[in-house]
Structure 1
């Protein structure tokens, strides 16, 4: 509990620091007189999310993401930029609260067509997550706190790994459109906002790594399968200069699946001996 509280304090402090102005950016670069935004890029993400039940309280969180981003020669969908493998063991505290702890291997591809550096480098992360759900009339509201410890490397030969922490808070709602409940054969809309902060020795002024605003349309096929697609706008400070912001538009396609690999007898409800 002490570690959890400490993480919350860190996250709150980083959010507050986003509004504190700084005069010098990364590597001694002077901030521009006004914030500058790069031209928005376009990306397409294909994501799968698996919550695989393995016991009464434990589940396997298995996520695979394949992400494409535009290049000069191939606009819009572009070429492959990253492949994510994010896995964790989750603990179900209650129907509305769960926690997860695991690791990430992200493969980064060099999308600079003029680059002579390496084409592929790995990125490593440890992550833990705290998710809370609450019903609101016919909708569901989700609060998610995710903390990541990441080691990143540039495409240059023999470049050193940079360690950073990411502090993420996401607010998401799921509102049924064709039914009064979120049940099979229901179309729903899901607005979402996520703020991603970062800290570390290499992070001097660029504490706001990303702000993501997304609207998703989903369809619940069965209790264990959901399909969804949405559009996301994002912006955030570049680590090279805190006064320069990157931004982009991303099409996201999702598959959510939740198989139960427990034995049949373990899936049955417990017998009430006192009835």
Structure 2
């Protein structure tokens, strides 16, 4: 259980940094809250080709006003390497296109190219399944005004928990509860006033369709600090996600 203790220490450090730095110590009167209603419709897949190697595939269609207007398109892939049965490293790439939305929209559509390195650790605490995800991102973000790219660094930490609603483990044809919290912290050159970048808190009802597939429907409380450090998005988000993992070793 040593990695659980280290995870909690890291989360505490990230929260402390984001709260103490003057970039985010804005008086409440200087902050502007932007409330939005979004819908994220997602597919995830980790496909195994051998005992050690696999590939990650992901598609997210994010909509503003739940379905009416575009918010963001995210396509992500990566190469997985299983360090142990409960530890996996991923090196990957993401393509993100963001559209103007909300009361403080971007001037135009803009694109982001992203490389990421990720370590995912799994374990259990009694009936609760726990996943710790550590991710570093190298981001090239296009300006919606000049179309030039700015290089940014970001660190992310997510703690996810699942609870079976039938029995002690989650089996095929059984429901479960899922929850996670993920914090994003920017660092390095070109970070402006949003060292605290965003936080995501999620609660969902899931159903394991088969050994390979599961679906979740849930609510995401998504807080984003804009680069100016003044506008804070409070996004009430419907999430619908399908996970489908193919094991090609069985083919």
- Please report the TM-score for the alignment, with normalisation by the length of structure 2: 0.87
Q: Extract unaligned runs of 5+ from structure 2.
A: 1-8
1:174-203, CA deviations, whole angstroms, 9 ceiling, x for partnerless residues? 100123211111100011111111124332
Q: 1:139 to 1:15 in 2, by over 3 A?
A: closer
1:104-160, CA deviations, whole angstroms, 9 ceiling, x for partnerless residues? 111222347998964x4321000111011111222211111111111111222x332
Aligned pairs for 1:1-275 within 5 A: 15-22=15-22, 32=27, 34=29, 36-70=31-65, 76-111=66-101, 118=108, 120-156=109-145, 158-240=146-228, 242-262=229-249, 264=251
Question: Which protein is bigger by CA-based radius of gyration?
Answer: 1
Q: Distance in 2 between matches of 1:86 and 1:235?
A: 22
Contact 1:110–1:155 under 8 Å retained in 2 = no
Q: Distance in 2 between matches of 1:161 and 1:13?
A: 30
1:19 alignment partner, SS class = helix
Q: Distance in 1 between matches of 2:197 and 2:104?
A: 26
- RMSD of equivalent CA atoms: 2.7
2:19 alignment partner, SS class = coil
Q: Extract unaligned runs of 5+ from structure 1.
A: 1-8, 71-75, 265-275
Contact 1:69–1:77 under 8 Å retained in 2 = yes
The count of residues paired between Structure 1 and Structure 2 equals 243
Q: 1:11 offset after TM fit, Å? A: 8.6
- Please report the TM-score for the alignment, with normalisation by the length of structure 1: 0.79
Q: 1:31 offset after TM fit, Å? A: 5.2
